[in-house]
């Protein structure tokens, strides 16, 4: 046998190491890989965060323990975490639904605000007379929130469907319009004695909380988690059903993969764009309703610390899977909550950032294969 010909040196990296590392484009992606890379990315993010913490003079392990304790340590904080997760789940679903069709709705924040406004209008205009029982008020508020958010979401949808206007720019700008719209109402017509907030809603307009049942079940006392969380979970199930088991879901997937094939299949792509944008807006609007009715109990300027933007990250991390959105939202809810407890409060924000980066980086692993080869001498 003749001596093996020397392997062709890799084209670029030529460092005299016994190993060479290269990236190869993957043509086949194993089924288990996406889930594994997500888990791996989270682990890596925690490791990096730990190192950064240690370099900053902190003690990583106790810090992590503290974060976990601050967000999952007791029934009370778990409840608080779920309260934070609720608007994230709904806005995350809004993004995931639109992103499935490659509609880049980054206006969940604005649709959230409009939903909050619509729900508030039910009690503040008022549409129902004072003293109307919850069983009527709450569903009306939900409907109004979804309607307002949905209509607001339909605007970029219609512009894109009819005129081909780029939805990213429109949705982004509409976020500012919505914020100003809220400001107008809380400074003006609905202002409570000149303050930048409205009067508190009557009790009938509050989503029930666990603590409301403390009389019957004492363990529930002080638990702020409200019915909005159940609504969010139901929404996740419905969105998942919509995507995999409905005709509209099939159309969404088909358009998302190939608009030309969708047209060929007889799908009215323009109409579907408007519908999906409206649905996406309605989900975000429902989040706004749940927040004013379940947490704040009034409309005010600062009702969202950017849920609609965090939702984009949540949807992305969840790989647009509705159940993944629930899990990712709870994780982010925990980080938001821990941010209030931990000093310096930037730590959870940093972890959030590192998490995002490592998840984005993990995409490389999905698309490429990292190959470590022993160099033949």
Partner 1 sequence: MADDIAAPGPPLAVAMRGIVKRFPGVVANDGVDFDLRVGEVHALLGENGAGKSTLMNVLGGLYRPDAGEVAVFGERVDFHSPRDAIAAGLGMVHQHFALVPTQTVTENVLIGLDRPRFRIDLARFDDEIADLARRHGLALDPRARIWQLSVGEQQRVEILKFLYRGARVLILDEPTAVLAPQEADDLFRTLRSMVADGASVVFISHKLAEVSRIADRVTVMRRGRVTAAGIPSAGTTPEGLALLMVGREVLETIERTPFRPGPVVLSVRAVEATGDRGVPALRGVSLDIRSGEILGVAGVAGNGQSELAQIVTGLRPTTAGSVTVNGDDVTNRPPREVIRRHVAHVPEDRTGVGSAPDLSIADNLIMKSYHDAPIARRWAIDTGAVRRFAIGLKERFDIAAPSVDIDARLLSGGNLQRLILAREITSDPSLMVAVQPTRGLDVGAIATVHRLLLAQRESGSATLLISEDLDEVLGLSDRVAVMYEGRIVGIFDAVEADVAAIGLLMTGGSAPSLAEPGSPAELVS
Ligand X SMILES: Nc1ncnc2c1ncn2[C@@H]1O[C@H](COP(=O)(O)OP(=O)(O)OP(=O)(O)O)[C@@H](O)[C@H]1O
List residues binding partner 1 (CB under 8 A): 1-2, 4-5, 7-8, 10-11, 22, 24-25, 27-28, 244-250, 253-254, 257-258, 260-268, 371
375 binds, among partner 1, ligand X, none (CB under 5 to 8 A by kind): none
34 vs 208, beta carbon nearer ligand X: 34
Length of the chain: 377
Rounded CA-CA distance 64/66 in Å is: 5
Element (H, E) at 376: none
Instruction: Name which of 108 and 275 has its Cβ closer to partner 1.
Output: 275
- Residue 103 contacts which entry, ligand X, partner 1, none (Cβ below 5-8 A, type-dependent): none
**Per-residue tokens: 167:** 């939805």
- 260 interface partner picked from partner 1, ligand X, none, CB below 5 to 8 A per type: partner 1
* 11 contact, one of partner 1, ligand X, none, CB 5-8 Å limit per kind: partner 1
We find the least distance from the C-beta atom of residue 254 to partner 1, in angstroms, to be 6
10 Å CB burial of residue 32 (0-12, 13-18, 19+) is exposed
Q: Which is nearer to ligand X, 15 or 27 (CB)?
A: 27
Q: CB nearer to ligand X: give 18 or 30.
A: 30
Residues in CB range of 62: below 8 A, 6 or more apart: none
Least distance between partner 1 and beta carbon 44 (Å) = 24
Instruction: Give me the residues that bind ligand X (CB under 6 A), please.
Output: 27-28
Could you tell me if 362 and 39 are in contact, meaning their C-beta atoms sit under 8 angstroms apart?
no
* Cβ–Cβ < 8 Å for 337, 225: no
User: Is residue 104 reached through a cis peptide bond, with omega within 30 degrees of 0 on the bond before it?
Assistant: no
Nearer to ligand X, 27 or 135 (CB): 27
Other C-beta atoms lying within 10 Å of the C-beta of residue 301: 13
CA 375 – CA 377 distance, rounded (Å): 6
**Which among ligand X, partner 1, none contacts residue 353 (Cβ within 5 to 8 A by kind)?**
none
Q: How far is the CB of 321 from partner 1 (least distance, A)?
A: 16
Q: Cβ atoms within 10 A of the Cβ of 206, count?
A: 20
């Amino acid at each position: 046998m003749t001596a093996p010909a020397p392997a062709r040196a890799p084209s670029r990296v030529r460092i005299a190491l016994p190993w060479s590392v290269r990236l190869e484009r993957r043509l086949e992606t194993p089924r288990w890989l996406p889930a594994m890379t997500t888990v791996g990315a989270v682990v890596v993010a925690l490791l990096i965060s730990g190192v950064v913490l240690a370099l900053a003079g902190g003690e990583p392990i106790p810090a992590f323990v503290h974060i976990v304790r601050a967000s999952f340590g007791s029934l009370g904080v778990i409840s608080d975490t779920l309260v934070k997760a609720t608007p994230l789940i709904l806005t995350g679903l809004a993004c995931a639904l639109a992103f499935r069709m490659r509609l880049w709705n980054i206006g969940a924040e604005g649709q959230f605000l409009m939903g909050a406004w619509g729900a508030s209008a039910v009690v503040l205009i008022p549409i129902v007379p004072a003293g109307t029982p919850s069983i009527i008020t709450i569903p009306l508020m939900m409907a109004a929130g979804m309607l307002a958010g949905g209509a607001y979401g339909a605007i970029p949808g219609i512009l894109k469907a009819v005129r081909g206007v780029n939805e990213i720019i429109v949705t982004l700008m509409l976020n500012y319009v919505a914020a100003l719209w809220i400001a107008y109402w809380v400074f003006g017509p609905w202002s409570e004695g000149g303050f930048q907030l409205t009067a508190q809603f009557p009790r009938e307009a509050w989503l029930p909380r666990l603590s409301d049942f403390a009389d019957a079940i004492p363990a529930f006392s002080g638990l702020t988690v409200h019915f909005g969380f159940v609504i969010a979970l139901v929404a996740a199930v419905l969105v998942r059903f919509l995507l995999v088991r409905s005709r509209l879901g099939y159309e969404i997937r088909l358009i998302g993969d190939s608009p030309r094939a969708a047209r060929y299949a007889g799908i009215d792509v323009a109409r579907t764009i408007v519908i999906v944008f409206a649905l996406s807006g309605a989900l975000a609007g429902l989040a706004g309703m749940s927040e004013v009715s379940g947490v704040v109990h009034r409309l005010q300027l600062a009702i969202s610390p950017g849920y609609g933007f965090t939702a984009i990250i949540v949807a992305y991390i969840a790989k647009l899977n509705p159940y993944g959105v629930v899990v990712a939202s709870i994780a982010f809810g925990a980080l938001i909550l821990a941010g209030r407890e931990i000093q310096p409060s930037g730590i959870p924000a940093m972890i959030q950032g590192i998490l995002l980066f490592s998840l984005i980086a993990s995409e490389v692993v999905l698309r490429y294969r990292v190959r470590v080869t022993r160099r033949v001498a």
